Structure 1
Amino acid sequence: MSSQAAVPATATSHSAPDPEAQSGHAPDPSADRTADRRRWIALAIVMTAAFMDLVDVTIVNVAIPSIERSLEASFGAIQWITAGYALAFAAGLITGGRLGDIFGRRRLFLIGISGFTLASALCGFAVGTEMLVGARLLQGAMAAMMVPQVLAIIHVTFPPHERGKVFGMFGAIVGLGAVSGPLLGALLTQWNLFGLEWRPIFLINLPVGIAGVILGRKFITESRAEKALRLDLVGVVLATVSLLMLIYPLTRGRELDWPLWGHLSMVASPFMFAVFVVYERYKTRKDGSPLVELSLFRVKSFAAGIAVQLTFGVVMGIFFLVWTLYMQVGLGWSPLRAGLTGVPFSIAVSLAAGLSVQQLVPRFGRKVLQAGALTMMAGLLLYIWEADRYGMGISSWQMAAPLVVMGLGMGLIVAPLTDAVLSDVPREHAGSASGLINTTMQTGNALGLGLVAVVFFGVIDDARPTTPAAVGTAFADAFQHSLWWVAAVLGVIFLVMFALPARPKQHMESGALEDTADAEVGAPTGLPEQRQKQQSPTKTG
């Protein structure tokens, strides 16, 4: 029997109807239990894929010296190995999300994870820098096909009253992936398994990816947009060009000494985005198949959540890079020690993420996210104080306290934020919305990386250190200076969060209410979530 049988009407996908449901016979309880188990197995599969992508974003950084020695890579090639993935990933996310809406999220997920696994193998067996750069570009493009389907599959598979718990798990995975990449990369590189040096950081994806493909085919239920959509090719080109005009100069700007064309490209990118918006409005009126469903931005929770996501991406882009450079270059720590130092942060994020959505948000609403922003700010201020007090003699255990406070704050934000952004999104646009969420985070991350050149390297360049001791001191000073900027951005996030719904109640109540409404009106299983909410007496605020 189909896995849809155990899923309430709000959670079913737009695939073939259940014959038993159509015949009017009551479903077999044992089949319900099987379907429920399949749903949670599907969740484990897509979350593992999301974790694999999160780790792959950061795992390469600690292996760069080994790659440079092994392949005799130039500085420019090294930049492309790290930036190529991010560029291909960010440029393809919106398109990947929409392709899932059109052709099926399960299908695109399987294509993405298959291509990601193949690209990982090509990276691991690369014989030169050209092959490695090309494989990283392919890896990023395939991740852009895979990642938007993760949130979309969750959105259409689980009813509203279960999504809070599920997004709490997702937030924990995000926090774990954020610091697991450097630690895992350090371990695999240091162990030098089978004399392969850096190559296991890519080859480790192979068994995970193969298992994901096999299990995904069996346990993930297909879903797609209820209304027939067509791919907006002009929109794909305009969105990709707009993103690249902003992200590419930010990613490569400092290495290229901030050329004039880079500044002109960044200045022109908002105008290209404006052209994209105008065309999408035209496309909506013409045939109702735009690349981005602009009506999503009329949903208050989605529009506000996207704004928070963008600014939070800036925080992540600045902090994680300068933190890694501070420990490994400034303090002279090994990659393994730096990775282990981040373990308390990861644990704190995971704990707070699960607690926030399941226990706190239903009671306190957006105040939980705002408390998270303030808590992260408190952790940053404590970190600044400790870095200044202990200087170059600071130890890992002394960093534990501010990292735990920051991790708790981040956990209170990441899981509820994803839940808030997607909570009122119609199911037929889940893929497009998920692509926008990931694109916004990546764009914010790129903005943060661009700011690193100013708030971190600018301080070091002004100091002009000439001795190892002076370099360490300069990096420590630049780290503290950067944390003040991160704290300021978190202050902006705190204010933007006032635009989020004050107390979202749908995850506690709407599952039962919507099921009752469906039973009363005899609604089909594919009824869009937005229309169901109009039938429900409870309206989220």
Structure 2
Amino acid sequence: MTTTVPAAAEAADRRRWTALAVVLTATFMDLVDATIVNIAIPSIQRDTGATFSAVQWVTAGYALAFAIGLITGGRLGDIYGRKKLFLLGMGGFTVASALCGLAVSPGMLVGARVLQGAMAALMVPQVLAIIHVSFPARERGKVFGMFGAVIGLGAVCGPLIGALLTEGDLFGLAWRPIFLINLPVGIAGILLGRRFIGESKAPAALRLDLVGTALATVGLLLILYPLTQGRESGWPVWGFVSMAAGPLVLAVFVRYERAKTRKDGSPLVELSLFRVKTFAAGVGVQLTFGAASGLFFLVWTLHMQLGLGWGPLHAGLTGVPFSVACSAAAGMSVQKLVPRFGRKVLQAGALIMFSGALLYIWEAGHYGTALQSWQMAPAMVLLGGGMGLIVAPITNSVLSEVPAQHSGSASGIFNTTGQLGMAMGLGLSSVAFFEVVGGPGETGGAAAGAALGAGFIDATANALWWVSGGLVLVFGLLFLLPRRVRTQSAAAEVAEATSAAEAGAAVDETGKEQPVLVS
């Protein structure tokens, strides 16, 4: 017995690190797909004859389906098993990617992207939940640092990968490989996930809250749909009525969830999570930061391709300094800086991003359409480095005190908040950017013409001022987080390590070792 347990524990340890690689790859795949389309918009328009409105929904449809389904996806993982939902989501995501790559019309492409977002909503919430229950508290800082680095890389590598695949025109398929590349990755992830990811679910028996799901879906849709479609429709009255009704429906949702908790203890959202100070404060930061980031990435892409007239590959390569700085800062923040300086690291990240946005504003105004990639690089390093200091440690801060049995729900809320913020940023672009530049036409030709004028430069600067304001708000909200994330005492860590070693593996009916997840 004394020799078997350490060997089993060592095998379980190898399995969970392989499982981590699988779920982080899935996270990267999702993040890339959320941003990869922007760089290929001109190619999609030429090939399919899509109007600007249709192309907008290729990106917005994904975000809407993703945001609306995340909370439900997290709870489904708690109920039916996180491994099962992760593999189901990855399989559906892979199928939807194939449909996107084979789309023969703009309508089919939009529908496939909506399906892709819905499948991502099943897959992504399980990632943080699997990490939360697979790794003890003493290791989560390092693991969440890896997670943050993947987020930073995925956010910028999407346009770069999209540029390489689009300009490469593989097999004469133009833009289609940006989706078809997911097929081998998804198949490999499913095969490895089946073998190495251990199953986990909430200890208490839970039921799916169908009424809560419907109320949350309607409430979010009432807010997100007019934010996305309002400008294309000329900001009609129904849009404002819808956005006003959304919070009312969400208020009804909160009241229902409280009643559901008292009735059977199986609500869609564990409202008790918001009594955890770190979680509530982190959600506020995530919402604001998501809005600022969503607005920035959209404006940045349009500024490079339409305003400066750069090709997809040129624009994608310009993001490399951002990506490298973000990845490096994410690793340093968790491993070296946060343990020593705590909350100040995240606040420094907000201030560094703020300085990068101000530098970008100055460059856009000073150089105009003559701006070069090397001149943009310092601003990109500041923006990327600041983002890395925030995205890596914020996850551990938000989920560190969440009860393990609600980790799926907490993950769903956390990710939904970020997506809602991104949707808000896209909605704000109508006021902060398109209203100033005059708005692109349906075919994109008017946009290309307007981009070369002074109005486009003014629009870019105006939008970046909005981004800067959001970063100032993020800086203030970070004061609501604790100075330092609480850590376990040495005795507790020893006890947890001993428990993990003793329960490191179990044997199923086939005689194969299966990891036992210890939270």
User: TM-score with structure 1 length normalisation?
Assistant: 0.89
Q: Determine the C-alpha separation between the residues in 1 that align with 2:493 and 2:209.
A: 33
1:497 — aligned with what? 478
Matched, 1:412 2:389: yes
Counterpart among 229, 242, 252 of residue 219 in structure 2 = 242
Alignment of 1:60-459 (within 5 A): 60-459=37-436
Determine if the alignment matches structure 1 residue 54 to structure 2 residue 35.
no
Does the 8 Å contact 2:133/2:517 carry over to 1?
A: no
Q: Could you tell me how far apart the structure 2 residues matched to 1:274 and 1:134 are?
A: 30
Question: Residue in 2 aligned with 1:474?
Answer: 455
Decide whether aligned partners of structure 1 residues 289 and 25 sit closer, same or farther in structure 2, where only a CA change above 3 A counts: farther
Q: Structure 1, residues 404-458: CA drift from partner, whole Å, max 9, x if none?
A: 0111111110011111111000111011000001100000111111111111112
Correspondence for 2:492 among 513, 516, 526: 513
Distance 1:26 1:272 in 2: 58
Q: C-alpha offsets along residues 107-146 of structure 1, whole Å, 9 cap, x if unaligned?
A: 0000000000011111111222232222111111100000
**Partner SS, residue 503 of structure 1:** coil
Q: Which amino acid aligns with 1:419?
A: N
- Percent identity reads 66
Aligned equivalents of 1:161, 1:129: Cα separation in 2? 49
Compare 477-486 and 127-136 and name the one that shifted more: 127-136
CA RMSD of aligned residues (A): 2.3
In 1, Cα distance between the equivalents of 2:51 and 2:193?
39
| Structure 1 residue identity aligned to 2:60 | A
Counterparts of 1:299 and 1:107 in 2: how far apart (Å)? 29
Relative distance call for 1:72 and 1:467 in structure 2 (3 A) is closer
Query: Partner of 1:486 in structure 2?
Result: 467
Unmatched 5+ stretches in structure 2: 505-515
Per-residue deviation, 1:80: 2.5
Q: What is the deviation of 1:26?
A: 5.7
Amino acid at match of 1:322: V
Q: Structure 1 residues 247 and 258, CA, compared in 2 at 3 Å: closer, same or farther?
A: same
Contact 1:362–1:505 (CA under 8 A) maintained in structure 2 = no
CA distance in 2: counterparts of 1:378 and 1:244, whole angstroms: 35
Contact 2:103/2:109 (<8 A) preserved: yes
What SS does structure 2 have at the residue aligned with 1:249?
helix
Q: Note if contact 1:427-1:528 (Cα within 8 Å) is conserved in structure 2.
A: no
Contact 2:299–2:460 (8 Å) recurs in 1: yes
Deviations 1:234-253 (A, max 9, x none): 00000111111111111111
Give per-residue Cα distances to partners, 1:153-199, cap 9 Å, x unaligned: 11111111111111111111111111111111111111111111111
User: Aligned AA for 1:489?
Assistant: G
Structure 1 residues 197-206 or 73-82, which shifts more? 73-82
8 Å Cα contact 1:160-1:511 kept in structure 2: no
Aligned-partner Cα distance in 1 for 2:174–2:405: 45
Give the match's secondary structure for 2:171: helix
How far apart in 2 are the matches of 1:255 and 1:321? 16
Structure 1 116/512 Cα, relative in aligned 2: closer, same or farther at 3 Å? farther
Alpha-carbon shift at residue 515 of structure 1 (Å): 4.4
After superposition, the Cα gap between the structure-2 partners of 1:396 and 1:102, relative to the gap in structure 1 and judged at 3 Å, is same
Work out whether residues 306 and 451 of structure 2, in 8 Å CA contact, stay in contact via their aligned partners in 1.
no
Bigger drift between 319-328 and 497-506 goes to 497-506
Contact 1:51/1:173 (CA < 8 Å) preserved in 2? yes
* Offset of residue 378 of structure 1: 1.2
Change (3 A) 1:205 1:273: same
The alignment of Structure 1 onto Structure 2 pairs a total of residues equal to 503
Compute the TM-score of the two structures, normalised by the length of structure 2: 0.93
- Partner Cα separation in structure 1 for residue 450 and residue 273 of structure 2: 53
- Residues 200 and 517 in structure 2, CA contact (< 8 A), matched pair in contact too: no
Q: Counterpart of 1:416 in structure 2: which amino acid? A: P
Q: Which runs of at least 4 in structure 1 moved beyond 6 Å after TM superposition? A: 462-467, 517-520, 523-529
1:460 and 2:449 matched:
no
Q: Name the residue aligned to 2:511.
A: none
Unaligned runs of 5+ in 1: 1-23, 530-541
Q: Give the 3 Å change call, closer, same or farther, for CA 362–262 of structure 1 in structure 2.
A: same
> What is the one-letter code of the residue matched to 1:257?
G
